[in-house]
Amino acid sequence: MLQTKVSLLLQKMGIPALSEVVTRKAIYNGPADSSFKASLINWALPYAQRYIYSAHPDKYSQLKQSGFNNLKQLQVLAVEKLSYHYAIKKCCIASKKQEQCSCLLEGNTLYTRLESDTHALFLELSRLFFDGTPELHLANFLHMITTMAESGSTEEQTEFFIVNSQKVSKLPDKESVWLLSSTQSWTTNDESLQMDASPTTINEQKPSNLKLKASVSSCWPPADWKTAPDFHGSRCSINDEEIVSDAASVVPVKNNADFTIENKVDELPESDNVDIQIPKFDGPELGPSKIFRTDQLRPGTANAIQAMATGREGEQVAFNHLTQKFGQVVKWVNQDNETGLPYDMVIEVGSSREYIEVKATRSAMKNWFEISFREWQFAVEKGESFSILHVLLGNNKARVTTFRNPARQCQSGKLRLVVLMPTVSDTWEDVSLLT
């Protein structure tokens, strides 16, 4: 409240906000083909438009009154390396300290590294619509439907999810659809940073007149997306029977499901069936023929809707279980929509808080789960105040396993962290074992 009053006072006094004076200046090299990233942005823009129209009508009206000028000037530029430093606008003063990043919106140019993940890209894109401020909910929404598209969901399934679960309506016919159109070339002021693969700018057309040049696709994923040069660097998924996605949001489940819950605290799952076997090599040569499929966590994509439903149902079971134990002090932060927070529930008693992250599966043989870097960073930071609830869903029974302070359990060897390597890498190097 005080911050708002101070901000209004400064505005009346004619003192600009710090964000209006200081800007981030992109520093990059190795410009690359922007068509893959531009195709993703082009495909996502109509969904972003629908979201803003439904969730932020005032902002949409403001953008429309401006003639969508910032959108029409949007450029997408893929680069090899990217960083930024802070500089004062209308002045030659700049910080010497550089910060590395995966993507950056500077003015109307969206810079992105080839290996940047979709959520980070959408979060940076959201700044374009909200006066330089990232909009997490919009980024989460775009990330969810992108995950569904890449997982093989049909347009009908995606549309059902958008309208019924996310409550995002279709655009009226009178509204023009946002999309990108290709340009011939683009160069920076620095002659050493020129590119042949051009960025793209936004165009506004009626749905019946949507046309794009071949370099930018209007669908996602494109037919050759798995062989695109930046695909393997930006995405490496793990698949068992299903994946509990961090992007899984409001998927309808049975709230009155009759589950019998077996609770195991600070114990590993009983199943000793592991999807990874230690490879055995009989000769001096190491090659793909010596690595068997069973040596891998099977890479691929899962059914996105099934994964979201599993994650949502697991959270519901965990919430019911915790509510029975602790009562009304349990708060399900993702109950209405995905918040993007590194936890799903909070148990708050006085000044004490316990943070709960839920991981769910239907496979009794699956003894692993994914955890994002942000979730793990939060787990290390909170220590004893952070727990992971693993929910194994059955037909009418669920098994809940609680791992309090998973960081400490990793240090003691009770839990283990695994690093999954990409299936294709340009950093491989064959080394002879013969001397």
Task: For Cα atoms 428, 430, 435, give the angle at the middle one, nearest 5 degrees.
Answer: 150
Instruction: Give residue 185's pLDDT.
Output: 32
- pLDDT band for position 212 (cuts 50, 70, 90): very low
pLDDT at site 258: 44
The 3-class SS string of 218-283 reads: CCCCCCCHHHCCCHHHHCCCCCCCCCCCCCCCCCCCCCCCCCEEEEEECCCCCCCCCCCCCCCCCC
Let me know: does 172 contact 206? Beta carbons within 8 Å: no
Which tens digits make up the pLDDT trace of 96-114?
Answer: 788 889 899 998 899 999 8
For the cut 80, the answer to whether the pLDDT of residue 251 exceeds it is no
Choose between 387 and 339: higher pLDDT: 387
219-222: list long-range contacts, CB under 8 Å, 24+ apart.
219/43, 220/39, 220/40, 220/43, 220/44, 220/146, 220/149, 220/150, 221/149, 221/150, 222/36, 222/39
What confidence tier does 208 reach under pLDDT thresholds 50, 70, 90? very low
Mean pLDDT of 258-285: 37
- Cα 3 from Cα 264, distance rounded (Å): 46
The predicted structure's pLDDT at residue 3: 59
Q: What's the whole-number average pLDDT of the chain?
A: 73
| pLDDT, position 35 | 85
What band does 217 get if pLDDT is binned at 50, 70 and 90? low
Measure the CA–CA gap between 369 and 355, rounded to whole angstroms: 18
CB neighbour class for 133 (10 Å; exposed up to 12, middle 13-18, buried from 19) = exposed
Range with lowest mean pLDDT among 49-63, 275-289, 334-348: 275-289
Side-by-side strand order, sheet with 330-332: 260-265, 397-404, 386-393, 352-361, 345-349, 330-332
- The yes-or-no verdict on residue 147 having pLDDT over 70 is yes
Per-residue pLDDT averaged across 289-307, rounded? 52
Which tokens is 81 given?
Answer: 């390396």
List pLDDT tens digits, range 30-64: 777 888 888 899 999 999 999 999 999 999 999 99
Distance CA 252, CA 163 (A): 12
Tell me which of 310 and 92 has the higher pLDDT: 310
Quote the percentage of the chain above a pLDDT of 70: 65
Beta-sheet strands, E only, within 62-145: 75-88, 99-100, 103-106, 109-113
pLDDT digits (tens, 9 = 90+) for 343-374: 999 999 888 899 999 999 988 888 889 888 88
Q: What are phi and psi of 182, to 5 degrees?
A: -75, 155
Which DSSP symbol is given to 32? -
Which residues does 261 contact at the CB level (< 8 Å), separation at least 6?
317, 321, 397, 398, 399, 400
Domains delineated in the chain:
12-223 (no CATH), 260-412 (3.40.1350)
**Residue of higher predicted confidence among 153 and 426:** 153
Of these ranges, 159-168, 192-201, 419-428, the one predicted with the greatest mean pLDDT is: 159-168
pLDDT tens digits along 395-410: 778 899 999 999 999 9
Range 387-402 average pLDDT: 89
**Is residue 163 over pLDDT 80?**
yes
Q: How far is CA 334 from the centre of its chain?
A: 16
Query: pTM of the entire structure?
Result: 0.51
Is pLDDT above 90 for 268?
Answer: no
What is the reported pLDDT for 183? 42
- Judged against a pLDDT cut of 50, whether residue 312 lies above it is answered with yes
